[in-house]
Structure 1
Amino acid sequence: MPSAAIDDYLKTIYHHTEWQSTPITPSQLAGVLGLAPSTVTEMVQKLAVQDLVAHRPYGPVTLTDAGRLRAAAIIRRHRLIETWLVQEFGYTWDEVHDEAEVLEHTISDRLLDRISERLGHPRFDPHGDAIPDAAGRAQREAFVLLGEAPIGHSGRVLRVSDRDADLLRAIEDAGIGVGHIVTVTGRDAVRIDGGATVTLPTAATSAVWLTR
């Protein structure tokens, strides 16, 4: 199996439980990857043989220790590259995901180490996602999804999902970015840094995470 294909599966499984705890099912995995369920089932079986995932028929898919280490390594590559593109080349946070998807499979470990050193070994990427260290460890604070935070909750923006570039731009246009303090004032409304109150696209409530 091509290494890039394996990495895409492992990354998706890893991503699914970064910001919530319910493991991914094969049908969810197929939906995210845009593949036929039968294709995903076949690949999951192959990954299980390689001891990269654990899976029982009709059950969820979870990473083994070996799978999690490999997933963390490719995610480290992706997020360091995103950070590099923003800090060194002036990319905006809605432009870097697709570029990193390509570059993560091509750059050498030596170059990746130089990038990390050049950036001062960052712990988070431009979207607030934790960058695993070389041993696969990543640090996160206690968090709550914006849409699940009660009215009156105030928290620092920890992370904004990078899955939808248009939504990223809308969130940025509203004045929200990683590190801002947000107070929930309504179903789709927040006050930013104690100042203006803005109404967000409904989709933003499931794309922004705050400190608990």
Structure 2
Amino acid sequence: MKTSTPSSSIEDYVKVIYSFTEWQDKPITSTQLAQRLGVANSSVSEMVRKLKDQGLVLHKPYSAITLTQEGVRLALSMVRRHRLIETYLVQDLGYSWDEVHDEAEQLEHAVSDTFIERMAARLGNPSRDPHGDPIPSADGTVQVPRAHRLSELDEGHTGLITRISDENPELLRYLAAEEIDLDADVEVMGRKPFGGALVVRIGSAGRSRDFDLADEVASALWVHSEGVHPGCRMAVSR
């Protein structure tokens, strides 16, 4: 049975488990969870047992980790906090998008639900954060756009950049310097020979530029295809 007030460690774990599967169907493993949290595998094993005892995850030895409905509820609450704080830091306090993740990690555990909801109202209840990740609503509903990694798209594919991974601050700074941002038009032109860079055209007609993107960069950009339904909704009772 879950505790009435989860620790910050528990909140971090369920948030990372949820975030890993938000843009893909593949569940997270203990090793991947350890890598993302920067902790030892033994620490993950101990915490996963605790999460299982509290009814937050499903896990069998040597298998992937999945959230229960209660685990998803808690994760969405923390994701909402994190992404609203990131949005506030960028829009109201002038932070750049490569600076906000670590700040939000600290603040999300410290503020009250009332603070979060007043912040959301002040921001106009945004639907996504500065990196394009969807912000769950207060009732636990989240809409994830249908999108694919740019690195996985074929020549001739067109769409809009709908999400930019925030895992690497240096990469975010590079994209900002190159003026590659959310909602930019993108067209895949092809790939350089012998497994070379992906050639893409980014920008609107008359103002577009061609880029040779390394796989690390192309894998951080997610593209929503034009003419495709924007996504599916997932509701979690709170």
Match of 2:210 in 1: 197
TM-score by length of 1: 0.96
User: Given residue 49 of structure 1, which amino acid in structure 2 is its aligned partner?
Assistant: D
Deviations 1:103-139 (A, max 9, x none): 1111111111111000100000000000001122111
Query: Aligned residues: percent identity?
Result: 49
1:5 is aligned, of 6, 9, 32, to 9
Structure of greater relative contact order (alpha carbons < 8 Å, 6+ residues apart): 2
Distance 1:84 1:32 in 2: 24
Report if the CA contact (8 A) 1:23-1:62 is conserved.
Answer: yes
Match of 1:211 in 2: 224
Deviation at 1:186, TM superposition (A): 2.9
User: Given residue 213 of structure 2, which amino acid in structure 1 is its aligned partner?
Assistant: L
Deviation at 1:33, TM superposition (A): 1.2
Unaligned 5+ runs, structure 1: none
Map of 1:40-59 to 2, 5 A cutoff?
Answer: 40-59=44-63
Larger radius of gyration: 2
Cα RMSD of the aligned pairs, angstroms, is 1.3
Deviations 1:158-187 (A, max 9, x none): 100011110011122222111111111233
Report if the CA contact (8 A) 1:78-1:101 is conserved.
Answer: yes
Q: What secondary structure, in the 3-state scheme, does the structure 2 residue paired with 1:162 have?
A: coil
Change (3 A) 1:186 1:173: farther
2:185 is aligned, of 156, 181, 186, to 181
**Which structure has greater helix proportion?**
1
Report if the CA contact (8 A) 1:174-1:200 is conserved.
Answer: no
Map of 1:147-158 to 2, 5 A cutoff?
Answer: 147-158=151-162
User: Given residue 26 of structure 1, which amino acid in structure 2 is its aligned partner?
Assistant: S
1:134 maps to 2:138: yes
TM-score by length of 2: 0.86
Deviation at 1:201, TM superposition (A): 3.8
Report if the CA contact (8 A) 1:174-1:198 is conserved.
Answer: no
Q: What secondary structure, in the 3-state scheme, does the structure 2 residue paired with 1:199 have?
A: strand
Distance 1:199 1:95 in 2: 26
1:28 is aligned, of 10, 25, 32, to 32
Map of 1:109-128 to 2, 5 A cutoff?
Answer: 109-128=113-132
The farther-off stretch of 106-115 and 117-126 is: 106-115
